[in-house]
A and B are shown apart, each in its own frame.
Chain A
Amino acid sequence: MDILVCIKRIPDISGQITLDASGTDIDDAGLGHTTSAHEECAVELAIQTAAATGGTVTVLTVGPAEAVEQLRAAVAVGANDGILIEAEDPGAFGPEDIAQIIGDIVRDRAEQGQSFDLVLLGNDAADTGDFQVGIRLAYDLEYPVLTGIQTLTSSGGGAGSGGGSGSIEARGIGPAGTEVFALDLPAVIAIQEGGVDPRYPSITGRMKAKKARITEYVAPEPGTGNPRIGLELPPEKTSEVTILGEGPDAADALVDVLEEIGVIRS
C-alpha cells in the first residue's frame, strides 16, 4: 500500500511564549521545532502499514524551507521520500488552502503514475488545532474520511495496487468503547495519538535521511487565506500558592483541604 503522510513543522513550546512584532504570530526565533504528536503517530502507522503490505511511505509538508528538517526526521524513522511545498509565510494559509494544496499534489502524483492508497494526517496540528484539514482534503479528493483513529490493520490491497483497491480496518476511541471501521481505499484518515509509539531513528536511518529525495514545489498564493486577526496571550497568572508543608507531616493539612472541598468519600 502506498501511503502519503501529511505533517507540519510546529514550534516546540515548553515555556512561556511571546508574540512577534506583528502580533499575529508567536516569536519562534529562539524555539526549536518539531512535528505534532498526532502526526508522529501517523508516520509510525504509515511505516507499519506499508511494511505489512510491501508498500511505500511519502511524507509531505506545506511550510517554510526549514520544514525539510521534519521531512528528513520522518525519513530517518522509515519514510521513503518527501515532498516540501514551500510557503514562505505558512500562517497566511487557512485550512481550506492547505487542503486544496495537498489535494492538488495527490492528483498531480496520480497523473504521474503514483497513486496513494491512503492519505494520513494528524487529527489536528498542535499549534493551530484547526481540526479540519483532513476532512476538507477528503471532500476535495472525494475519498471517505475518518478522524480520531489510533490503529490500522490492512486487509487486502498491496504494493503497486495503483490506488483504489483493497480496504483497511481502523480503530479509535468513541464515547461507548473502541469503534471499529472498515474502509475501502483510497481513503483519508486522521490519526490521534495513543495507539502506537513513534520509533526513534537508527544511525542508518539518519544517514538515509541525509540523502533522501525531497521533491520541492512552491505553494500557490493562498486562495481563502487565514481568518486570523491576531494572537493574544492570557494574562500572566500570579501565583498564590499556599505551601501546606514538607513531606508526610503535611498530610494532615492536605486532608483538611480535601474535606473542605468535600471530595472524600464517606
Chain B
Amino acid sequence: MTLVFVETDESGQVVLTSAEAVTFARTNADVLAGSTLDVAVIGALPDTATEQLAALGVETIHHLEHSDLEAYSAPAWAQALVDIAPETGTVLASGTPRGMELMAHVAVRTGSRMAANVVAADEEGLLRQVLGGTAFERLVLDGDLQVLTIAGHACTPEETTATSPEVLDYELDIAAEDLRTRVVRTEVHTVDGNDTSGLTQAKAVVGAGRGVGSENGFGEVLELVDHLGGALGVSRVVTGLGWRPHAEQVGQTGSRIAPDVYIACGISGAIQHMAGIEGAKTLIAINTDEESTMVQRADYAIIGDLHEVVGAVNEEIRNRRG
C-alpha cells in the first residue's frame, strides 16, 4: 500500500501540495512498492475533499477523526497514521511543515528511514533535493517501509479516471503521552503577514529585494500586487533588515512558490532565493544589473530602476483599464 497524508484547508479543499503528493504516489506506483493508493485525512472529511480525491484516483480514504486530534499534536497525529500504515510499502506526505514533521515521527515509530524533499523515484532509488535545491541526492531507503516527503511543486496535480473511494472510519485510542505537545491556542493570522497561504497559492507573486531601497520603498510594488490580485514575496535581505515580516520570505528558508508568474524586482537571484521559485511558470526580472543571475535566468527582463519601471507598469495597467 502507498499511504498519502492529505491536508485540507479551511474551506474543505485538498490543498495544492497534497494533490501533488497524491499525484506523485499514483504516477510512481510501480516503483513505490504500493499496489493500492490510499490516503489518510485527519479531522473533518467534507464532500468536496472526497470528490477531489476521487478525481485524483484514490482508492481508499482512511478518515481519522477524534476530539483529541482536533488540536494539532504531532505525535498523536503520527500515531494515528502509524495505526493504519502498511507494514511494507510507502508512507508519504508533501514536504510542508506538517508533512515533514509527521513523516519524521512516523519514520521513528515504524523503525523506518525517511527521505525528505523527494522529486523523483525510479528503479535506481529516490532522487531528492539537497543544498536548497542546487543539487539532487540519489539514495535507497532500505527496510520494508519507506517514508518520504515530496518537495513542494515537484509535480503537477493530475486528475485521472475518477474512482469511488471507500471511506474507512476508525475508533481511535489516543495515548495521553502523545498529547504532551498539543497546540494550546492558535492566534489567528493578522495583517502582520503571518499568513503564508496567500503566497504559496497565489497565481501571481511580485518579489521585492534589497533593490527596493528602504522600508518605505514598497509602494509601487504593493500597487502591482494589487493589480494582479497576487501576493508579495521578498528576499531574505528584506526580512533581515526588518523591512517586511519573515512570513513573506521566499526561498530555501522561506516559502516555496509555484505561481503562473513571478516578477522579481531588485532581487539578485542568489541560489537560496531561486530554491523558492523553481515552480514559477514565467519568471520576469526587473533589475538595474543586466548581469545579475535573476536577469540571466528570467524569461523576460527589463533593465532599469524598479521604482520607475514598476511605477510605469502600474500606470499602464490603470490606463488600459480606462
Contacts and interface: CB of A to CB of B under 8 A. Distances in A.
B315 interface: yes
Interface stretch (A74-82, A157-165, A171-179, A205-213): A171-179
B183 A179 contact: yes
B289 interface: no
B163 to A, nearest CB: 27
Contacts of A264: 227-228, 317
Contacts of B229: 263, 265
Contact of A246 (B97, B135, B249, B302): B302
Interface stretch (B24-32, B55-63, B84-92, B104-112): B104-112
A111 to B, nearest CB: 24
A17 B134 contact: yes
Given A129-B130, A132-B116, A233 B135 contact: yes
Given A136-B104, A144-B180, A247-B308, A227 B115 contact: yes
Contact of B300 (A38, A145, A224, A244): A244
Contacts of B114: 95, 130-132
A148 interface: yes
A250 B309 contact: yes
A135 B105 contact: yes
Main secondary structure of the interface of A (DSSP, over half): mixed
A148 B101 contact: yes
Contacts of B296: 239, 241
Nearest to B320: A255
B130 A37 contact: no
A182 interface: yes
Contacts of A126: 131-132, 252-253, 272
B160 interface: no
Interface in B190-222: 194-197, 203-204
A242 B253 contact: no
A88 interface: no
A194 interface: yes
Interface stretch (B44-52, B139-147, B168-176): B139-147
B202 to A, nearest CB: 10
Contacts of B162: none
Given A132-B107, A135-B101, A244 B301 contact: yes
A221 interface: no
Given A17-B134, A231-B138, 14 more contacts: A94-B113, A128-B130, A131-B104, A144-B180, A146-B181, A150-B246, A177-B187, A179-B186, A181-B182, A229-B125, A241-B295, A252-B316, A263-B261, A265-B226
B159 interface: no
Nearest to A254: B313
A51 interface: no
Nearest to B295: A241
B135 A17 contact: yes
How extensive is the interface on chain A, given as a class?
35 or more
Top 9 closest pairs, chain A to chain B, by CB: A194-B246, A248-B312, A251-B312, A247-B304, A132-B104, A135-B104, A263-B204, A227-B139, A265-B229
A183 B113 contact: no
Contact of B100 (A127, A147, A244, A248): A147
Contacts of A135: 101, 104-105, 108
Contact of A26 (B105, B131, B140): B131
B186 A176 contact: yes
A173 B194 CA distance: 7
B136 A231 contact: yes
Interface of A: 13-15, 17, 19, 26, 37-38, 94-96, 124, 126-132, 135-136, 139, 144-148, 150, 172-184, 192-195, 197, 224, 227-234, 237, 239-255, 257-259, 261-266
Contacts of B317: 255, 258, 264
Contact of A127 (B104, B131, B271): B131
B28 to A, nearest CB: 18
B124 to A, nearest CB: 8
Given A13-B134, A228-B139, A231-B135, A258 B186 contact: no
B192 to A, nearest CB: 10
B302 A250 contact: yes
Contacts of A232: 127, 135-138
30 contacts: A13-B134, A124-B100, A124-B116, A126-B252, A126-B253, A128-B137, A131-B116, A150-B246, A172-B97, A177-B187, A180-B183, A180-B185, A183-B180, A192-B97, A231-B130, A231-B137, A232-B127, A240-B299, A243-B301, A246-B303, A250-B309, A254-B300, A254-B302, A254-B309, A257-B282, A258-B317, A263-B204, A263-B229, A264-B227, A264-B228
Interface in B231-259: 236, 239-240, 242, 246-247, 249, 252-253
B15 to A, nearest CB: 8
Contact of B72 (A174, A193, A251, A257): A174
